[in-house]
Amino acid sequence: MVFGFLGGEFVDVITWLDETRDTMVWRFERHGNAIKYGAKLTVREGQAAVFVHEGQLADVFAPGMYVLETNNMPIMTTLQHWDHGFDSPFKSEIYFINTTRFNDQKWGTKNPIIARDPEFGPVRLRAFGSYSMRVGDPAKFLTEIVGTDGEFTADEISEQIRNIIVQEISQILAKSGIPVLDMAGNTADLGGLVTTAIGPKVAEYGLSIPEFYIENISLPAEVEKALDKRTSMGVIGDLHKYMQFNAAEGLAQPNSAMGATMGAAMGVGIGAAMGAGQAGPWGAAPAPAAPPPLPQAGAAWHVGIDGQTKGPYSEADLATMAAVGTLTATTLVWCEGQDGWKSAAETALAKLLKSAPPPLPKT
């Protein structure tokens, strides 16, 4: 912020350079000095200068350089009852108004908005976003909002603007009738409705809202989790096929915990399916299962063939082997309780050998 004064007690140069980026109004400090008649006033682009004399708004100056004389201050002339060329200092307050955009102002709903969704019924919504504001009417902004504040920042009015936005968006979301699942695709249209609704209200403060954005409309966390589950089920599709696929993957990895679990589950399922398949028609009781074969009596024999142990074989098997010549009198055999390997002729198998035909004579 820069101000200068030249010569004695009178201010001769009036200007303002803003380096804060958040100051909306700054009052030119006279430090007890009067403003000289004919002083130079410089109003830069993005600024306006408002003269207040004895508590009454006198003039508003757009960007440009002015010499404070009677011919370009008709209202001041009327208030002061100056005559043309009357060279006298006057004491008035000069307020510089920043008319540029103040961007990235945040807004959000502190409490959820109750709305009726056509698919889910009553829902609680939260929303947040950003907006920009600017002074459209410097005189009205000074008289309605700033008053005599010597330095007014954007933070001092942003809370009030947020309250106006939340009030309007609550009504718009509640009455929109747009399904929750479709709101993300309609944020631009909803933002336009909010901008139109709040326009007249902020205009009463001398402000305008050139940009307004709805960045997000969300449901409570627990509802979003339920919605995620519903989405997952939609992605899965046929639940039965999905379970079969998971079971197959689990069996493909038998060493994993999932494989063991899925294997056990599949075993139970297959058993149940087999039981169901054996049931009679119309759910009738299944036919009695055939009895298992009777256990075969006799010892289990091991046979030494070509230096390797074969078996165990039953006596019926060995009788067949004797008939085809695989089991001979010299074949070594062993069964439980026998003291080491013996030739078949030395054991109870000798009876099988007698029934075997002798070898054909050599011709």
End-to-end CA distance of the chain: 135
Considering 191, 223, 255, which residue would you say is the last residue of a domain?
Answer: 223
How far is Cα 130 from Cα 110, in angstroms, rounded to an integer? 15
The region of weakest confidence among 165-169, 227-231, 304-308, 357-361 is: 357-361
Q: Are residues 132 and 37 in the same domain?
A: no
Work out the percent of the chain whose per-residue pLDDT is above 90.
Answer: 33
The token duo for 355 is 């029934």
pLDDT of residue 233: 67
pLDDT of residue 84: 39
pTM beyond 0.75: no
Which are the contacts of 77, defined by CB distance < 8 A and separation ≥ 6?
70
Q: Region 78-87: what's the mean pLDDT?
A: 44
Give the domain CATH number at 164: 3.30.479.30
Q: Are residues 106 and 94 in the same domain?
A: no
Q: Are residues 83 and 19 in the same domain?
A: yes
342, exposed or middle or buried, with CB in 10 Å at 0-12, 13-18, 19+? middle
Total structural domains in the chain? 3
Q: Region 102-123: what's the mean pLDDT?
A: 90
Q: Is the pLDDT of residue 252 over 80?
A: no
Q: Are residues 86 and 106 in the same domain?
A: no
- Residue 148 lies inside a defined structural domain of this protein: yes
pLDDT of residue 153: 93
Q: Is the pLDDT of residue 190 over 90?
A: yes
Which are the contacts of 101, defined by CB distance < 8 A and separation ≥ 6?
132, 133, 134, 210, 211
Q: Is the pLDDT of residue 315 over 60?
A: yes
- Residue 274 lies inside a defined structural domain of this protein: no
Q: Where are the alpha helices (DSSP H) in 184-238?
A: 187-203, 221-236
Q: Are residues 118 and 209 in the same domain?
A: yes
Residue 331's domain comprises: 301-354
Q: Are residues 219 and 124 in the same domain?
A: yes
The answer to whether the beta carbons of residues 123 and 115 sit under 8 Å apart is: yes
Q: Where are the alpha helices (DSSP H) in 279-299?
A: none
Of residues 234 and 306, more confidently modeled: 306
Q: Is the pLDDT of residue 9 over 90?
A: no
pLDDT one-digit tens code per residue, 123-157: 899 999 999 999 999 999 999 998 888 899 999 99
Q: Are residues 177 and 86 in the same domain?
A: no
Q: Are residues 115 and 199 in the same domain?
A: yes
pLDDT of residue 321: 86
Considering 42, 65, 98, which residue would you say is the last residue of a domain?
Answer: 98
Q: Region 175-201: what's the mean pLDDT?
A: 91
Q: Are residues 42 and 85 in the same domain?
A: yes
Considering 223, 243, 273, which residue would you say is the last residue of a domain?
Answer: 223
Residue with tokens 């307004």: 212
Confidence of residue 55 (pLDDT cuts 50, 70, 90): confident
Average pLDDT, the chain: 78
Q: Are residues 22 and 121 in the same domain?
A: no
